[in-house]
Amino acid sequence: SRYYREVLPGEIVKISRHDVQTLDVVQRPERDPSAFCIFEYVYFARPDSIFEGQMVYSVRRRCGQQLAIEAPVEADLVSTVPESATPAALGYAQKCGLPYVEVLCKNRYVGRTFIQPNMRLRQLGVAKKFGVLSDNFKGKRVVIIDDSIVRGNTISPIIKLLRESGAKEVHIRVASPPIRFPCYMGINIPTKEELIANRPEFRDLANYIGADSVVYLSVEGLVSSVQESIKERQENSPKSQKSFIGKIGHCTACLTGEYPVELEW
């Protein structure tokens, strides 16, 4: 039988035809906590991925639940832009006691908008990318859960589309904190100037993107959603394993500007 598990930070693994061997685990200097990219949980990873012993889908659902605690709103239904934020939207809906309803369906014949070369093409892409399930939300107050708003120009045409199709109110809730800083660890995040959180429009973001309200998850809320079950598992682990457990750590540099290593230029 095949057995899959994560490669530990600093672990050197030899995979041969016969077996899988751990050759060494390189210790971190001063036993610093690890700095696993928190955005893997928010956006990059597949929902069925397992990191640090937990499924990404479950973490995203917890982020949605936490967002409902931090930013509830008077509304009739909860939905999402399909489908990366679905787990967070289900968590939000469950915690608020509101129904989760689909308001958009994906047009499977159109490519990704994130990689379109310019803004106009990205916005056109959005309009072609989704069909509107207007019967589901006409005359209703809608909460749309998104996983992240990076530039702010993808959500705008979606809000417009929903309003034109009969939504009474459109509230945006973002299941991650605003990205404010560049990543120097190899993730291709746009320049500081392109990030909506650093632009003057951010001061009145709801008005800028055409929403009735916009609230992001707090950094503390994200970190607690990610670390909750890791801590539980550590507390319940046998005494013999306690010495192997490192301090829990995640890189939040793109959100806080606190980088896990000193930058050398």
Model confidence pLDDT, tens digit, residues 187-231:
777 889 999 999 999 999 999 999 999 999 999 999 999 999 998
Tokens read off for 130: 């989704």
pLDDT of residue 108: 72
Question: Can you list the domains of the chain with their CATH numbers?
Answer: 55-220 (3.40.50.2020)
- The mean pLDDT value for 131-151 works out to 96
φ and ψ at 171, to 5 degrees?
A: -105, 135
Peptide bond into 102 cis (omega under 30): no
Residue whose C-alpha is closest to residue 104's, from 79, 128, 85: 79
Distance between CA 162 and CA 137 in Å, rounded? 9
pLDDT tier at 244, thresholds 50, 70, 90: very low
Does the pLDDT of residue 122 top 60, yes or no?
Answer: no
pLDDT of residue 242: 53
> Helix 219-235 and helix 56-70: axis angle, to 10°?
130
Does the pLDDT of residue 126 top 80, yes or no?
Answer: no
% of the chain at pLDDT higher than 90: 68
- The mean pLDDT value for 7-20 works out to 92
% of the chain at pLDDT higher than 70: 88
> Helix 155-164 and helix 119-129: axis angle, to 10°?
40
Distance between CA 245 and CA 193 in Å, rounded? 40
Q: What is the mean pLDDT of the chain?
A: 89
User: Does residue 67 contact residue 221 with C-beta atoms inside 8 Å?
Assistant: yes
Peptide bond into 74 cis (omega under 30): no
- The mean pLDDT value for 86-105 works out to 97
pLDDT tier at 128, thresholds 50, 70, 90: confident
Cβ-Cβ contacts under 8 Å for 62 (sequence gap 6 or more): 91, 225, 228
| Residue 216, H or E segment | strand 213-216
Strand partners, 36: 250
Distance between CA 199 and CA 149 in Å, rounded? 13
pLDDT tier at 120, thresholds 50, 70, 90: low
* Residue type present at position 35: A
